[in-house]
Structure 1
């Protein structure tokens, strides 16, 4: 099942940009792949950090 799931697809999943038909495939992949779950967690942390940075920049302007 993971033959086409790469970091780009995981990033699209985290960003909510993945085609709805692929969400179930990604979630099934994540259920059986600890490394991919860690990557998704890291991507979410990066997104949160970037949102916070953008928020700080808007407040400083």
Structure 2
């Protein structure tokens, strides 16, 4: 499950970037601040953005 994978990545020593596609927008090369059962908080466009899981269509983890 994506939630478990992102939690494991956050617990690790390395940071990672993701691209999030929602119903209304795309947030490219965003940092992950927090995740829980309700949604994800990302650092995009110099702003912390809270997205509920129901609004997310796709998450791509950047290399």
Q: What's the TM-score, normalizing by structure 1?
A: 0.28
Higher Rg: 1
